Chains A and B, each alone.
Chain A
Amino acid sequence: MAKAPFRSLCTALLGLFCAALLLWTGSAHAGQGAPAAVNPALEQRVTQLAQELRCLVCQNQTIADSQAPLAVELKNQVREQLARGQSDQDVIDFMVQRYGDFILYRPPVKASTWLLWFGPFVLLALGLLTLLLKLRQKPAAPADSLTAAELAHAAALLAGESPPGEVAPAARSIPAITTVSNASTAATASTA
């Protein structure tokens, strides 16, 4: 079909445009300036770890962001230990030993936090499964079949006559018959 090459051309052009955009910004990162800290690679590790640790005297900040004395001191501790060659896990163990799990913003995975870590995915699976089962079920009777009396009622309304007595809607999911909703449903017929 003649349309297919046009579509793929459009897509390719869009891709090229976006790639060019990315290239333009990518060049902003060319080269590293003179480091201000003694060891920028170490600083990077310190910052990353510090962002996982909670400042205990603040309301809700990491020790990376907080200016509180304890936070600064703890950050220094992190730096010293990493410089000494400790691993990230060693530093975390050090902190947890002194302050408990509370200091970790990433809760440890243990029995008491299984629900926390796995709950969302279990919930998602349950939700999708429930949805699938409900959609597969065929209902007993199609919801939009009407009895003869209801058909007559509907025909009367569409013809613009008043319905034979106010019929209270049964426990079916048919629209509540009032003159107002009739007007708005008539208006909907002309729109998609």
Chain B
Amino acid sequence: MSPLERAPRLMPAVGQSVKRKDGIGKATGGTRYADDLVFPGMLHGRTVRSTVPCGRVRAIRLDFDTAGFTIVDYRDIPGRNVVALIEDDQPCLVESEVRHVAEPILLLAHEDRESLLAARVEVEYETATPVFDPLCSPKALKRLLIEKGSLDAGFAEADVVVEGTYRTGHQEHVYIETNGVVAVPEDDGRTITVYGSIQCPFYVDRALQGVVGDRARVRVVQTETGGGFGGKEEYPSILAAHASLLALKSGRPVKIVYDRAEDMLATTKRHPSVIRHRTGVKRDGTLTAMDVEVVIDGGAYVTLSPVVLSRGGIHAAGPYRCPNTRIDGRAMFTNTPPNGAFRGFGAPQTQFAVEVHMERVAEALAMDPVKLRERNALRPGDTTATGQLLKEDTSALQVLREAVKRSGYRRKRARYAGTNRGIGLALFYHGSGFTGSGELKLASRATLELTERGGVRILVSSTEIGQGTRTMHAQIVADALGIPYEDVEVPYPDTAVVPDSGPTVASRTCMIVGRILQRCAEEMRARLGDLSPAEYVARRGPLAVTKQYEAPPWIQWDETHYRGDAYATYAWACDVAEVELDPDTYEVRPLKITAVQEFGRAIHPALARGQIEGGTAQGLGFALIEQVVMRDGAMVNAQLTNYTIPTTLDTPAMDLAVLENHYADGPYGAKGLGELPIDGPAPAVANAIRSLGIDVREVPATPETVMLAALGRRADAARHAHALAYSGAPIPRGGMDGAAAVEEGNETLGRDDDAIAARMGAGG
């Protein structure tokens, strides 16, 4: 009899909200985050940053007694003065050229924090003229073109053409734990270990190794991380390098933890976007042509802009079928702190634009917004903008219908008409895992090994950042191996110990890494044969299984032309937002969100629910109250007092429904979930505001923006949004390249006239 038959029947862990692997430490204060770590002889570190957006450093003066200080500049870098990421264009420390405010120039360390803070450093600059507005920038960091069919043919077929420009601003992550690391030179004299609040230990490991060169071996250990949301994907490489340089020079552990203002000012944010749509549609609502132009502001260095542009571009035509599509994207250089990864990664921006645009298309056709979406929603057998043939794991229609039904959308729309309440919806989707051949390139690996106690240990570099990685991976392994969930161990990711499973981003931790672990467990099960793990260890000794990512055999992707299977699968969702407008103050209060989400299946229902509720709240902040105000290339509201995220009283009741549609190559049918929920709230809210008769095409839809829109001043609303994101620079007259006038510059145009061209009886 096999051990599976002998053992009492185990409850499957997958699909249950099992007790989490995190223990009780988060609720007792026992769990240690980066700033809680103390090492003997530890120094505190501080970063001296540029105060000009563009120019050169002419001189640096140290106006303090340097005794007891460790001081590091670019000359102390043993390896390369580069923060390795996609392109090697970003220096770890300024050599002489400054490209943005808050660019790191000098590092200081001292035992005493007060002395450290009191040290005065004067930097003299030669300034040059900065570029702040991406629409006026001379330099593209990345371009993208996705084409399908023929736009000319498509517009020729159209009965109505609708145009519009949409804007999204920066968004700041506001993880409640700021960025922080401690770099510790080890006793062996050769290794430097960085402990830190990190999503991607191997990103840091690689970047850091480049900076320290031959001087040291690098080891990165993730500490319990108080929120990431992408803000700790690539940025920690810089911080780790800084702390390590100070540690190498002083020979002592160095802790650098940013305070909130520095974190907001200096670290990455969501890429702002300006997105223009021109859409051809038949009278019956069938889309015939979608012409989309996407401009995102990358900031001063490339960082992850190419991939943000990529994901944003691929999602830019929305979850709709259209035979003729063109998506022209570019990430532009500006003299602002580089923007980077933030949950959604381009998709919240482009799906805001397309979903608000679709609502305007429905208006132009005098058509029910649900019917318009039903007509065009992607179905199994349809192809996406990149020509990907969708399969049965496509649920656009199901989530749409369920959300409409569940929320009482039609009934409420009728009831709210003429009142100060509005209801709006957004249909959206999110590709799971890295785009295109990204997963192949990552070549992620996972290891399972038997423990002496007869359990099993997971070794992956996937990090727990609150989303439930530890628990979810353990559930998958437990069930695939047929052992109790309690017998699965998940220690902290330590690059000296775990294989590189790729970064904890892109909604891949369950679907991609979980799947590799599932395959490890299946092989281990086969090799254990009739023996239990304890029996095997006793009789045969240690056993470890390592497996690498294998792409599903059917995936075809053309990187050069951006054609084919962009993602292995997509998760689908529809949000319905109900809002109430205060007619005196133009404040929009969300009353209720109905979120219907399909992500394969939920491995841990309560953790999955947490992702949906948390992502939805973050999306609501993006929609209504989170505004980064930039002046002269720097964030001027870099305090939580002035950059406001939702409190309990800003977050409405949420009605969630989870639909299942298994993805065959995901662990137990699971797809990715982490980012999907944040793509929907902003367009749903904007469409709810639209149902009140107010034409909002920017987020955040602050009361100031809503006021201008309510007064019919579209151009002022656009100008206001643009000015806040780009430092008061006026919006260019004329279009996105300074060419033909597309910008809603004509202030006298009413809402209905605005850029809606009707070509009746179009023939060709």
Say whether A associates with B.
Answer: no
Which residues of A pack against B, CB within 8 Å? none
Residues of chain B touching chain A, judged by Cβ–Cβ distance below 8 Å, are none
